[in-house]
Amino acid sequence: MPESIQVEGNKTMQIQHVPLAADPVVIFSQLLTSPYPFWLDSGMDHQKLGRFSFMGADPFYQLISRGEQTTTVDCLKGSRENSRQPFFPLLDGLLSRWRRQKTAGLPFEAGAVGYFGYELGHQIETFPQTTINDLEMPDAFLSFYDALIAIDHLEQKVYLISTGLPVDNSRARTKRAAQRLAWLEEITRRAGTVPEPELPALTFGRQKGSNFSYEGYLEAVEKILAYIAAGDIYQVNLSQRFAVEFAGRPWDFYRRFRHLSPAPFGAYLAADRHIIMSNSPERYLLIKDDYIETRPIKGTRPRGENARADDQLRRELISSRKDQAEHIMIVDLERNDLGRIARYGTVHVPEMEIVESYANVHHLVSTVAARIDPSRSTVDCIVNSFPGGSITGAPKLRSMEIIDELEPTCRGVYTGSIGYLDFSGDIDLNIAIRTAVHHQDTLYFQVGGGIVADSDPRLEYEETITKADSFLKTLGERNQP
């Protein structure tokens, strides 16, 4: 029987935990045909960064931002309303409306899941947007879930959580919570009877190339170097987007993608006409009670073909003055961002320039942490730090202006953020790198690198190719200039 826990007077939450009897891939496959399925996928089973995965479907509410238009969708009533209300105050109000304390001791028990696109930064920093939104992606897409499945990879347990939201009446809410819990029980029961299918073969059409030519990318790097020489900025993150025809199932691609390149902040999201698939290694923002941290990545090397070559590349990354200089600038930027919302004197760097190794690359990573000022909300923390400094540059605002000038198309979800916002106020959001978008039978993915004073344009181009390797290996081919 489920455990029923009374929370905040008349707000009932029902939780059931069972042994993990099926692979998470099989469990999530049972949710794919439901509306707006999501999987926040900690594919590495990393105790610190990837202990829990969360999945669900069938949200009760949605909040979508497109430029100056904000759309709210009441999924239970089937109503949709467009307005010009600013996105962030509206989000703050919704989180306050359904605010609740956690009861099961899990990082995420109910709340919003989705993405903040890079261009949402235009609602924080007021400078003109000139890039083209050719994929027609919303600037933000959040779905609010009252019931979900949490998987504890360390303890090998599955938690079924149902809150009964958004119903206010105590009896009706208890009934809804029980009905939704029964649905989750059926999902996991079916998953226990289905074997994990073989990884599918993928069939791709023609490559559509990049939104930059090889020469165009080098020219953009040269312009950034001129801005650096003029004293405008210290560094800018420049990116390019690739595309390939793919008429298959995005789910089949994601299964293959996560298998070849597991990461602690993976995600599969359905957002109307776009399917978003991420295998990000980078945390943008974690909030737990009054603790906040960000873990910027700056500095990358490919994995070596053997242990000796791999160790040499790892040591090369650690000793690279260029990577160290770039990394320190971003850490300072992140300290400044957190300082805006932190209690005085609490910003610190518990980890500085450590190397984390993944299937295809080594990354240089630091952790910047603080204690949140009691007067600041979760949304305040996002507004004062978005987008993450590791994917913009320093100073952040001028870097964003230059990115808008030089990149021909909107980034969309790329270098934005994907994750959850719990109704308790806790959040965990990634930096959406190593992320693909499926739209109109085409897969899009974007890669970038930090440009500093001593950057070599050709080497910067090659770095973007190195970062794309995990994606390109999934396709079984590699782009060339």
356 is catalytic: no
Q: Is the peptide bond before 302 cis (omega within 30 degrees of 0)?
A: no
Contacts 24+ apart (CB under 8 A), 445-448: 445/241, 445/242, 445/414, 445/471, 446/239, 446/240, 446/241, 446/242, 446/411, 446/414, 446/415, 447/239, 447/240, 447/242, 447/471, 448/237, 448/238, 448/239, 448/240, 448/391, 448/415
Residue 81 annotated as catalytic: no
Q: Do 436 and 257 touch, CB atoms closer than 8 A?
A: yes
Contact 128, 67 (CB under 8 A): no
Other Cβ atoms closer than 10 A to 58? 17
Q: How far is CA 340 from CA 95, 199, 348, in A?
A: 21, 46, 13
Q: Which of 282, 293, 401, 463 is catalytic?
A: 282
Q: Which residues contact 430 (CB under 8 A, 6 or more apart)?
A: 265, 267, 278, 280, 282, 283, 284, 417, 418, 419
Q: Which of 432, 228, 132 is nearest to 220 (CA)?
A: 228
Count, residues in the chain: 481
Distance between CA 441 and CA 365 in Å, rounded?
Answer: 35
Question: Which one from 298, 396, 463, 467 is the annotated catalytic residue?
Answer: 298
Q: Which helix (H) or strand (E) holds 283?
A: strand 283-288
Report the catalytic residues.
282, 298
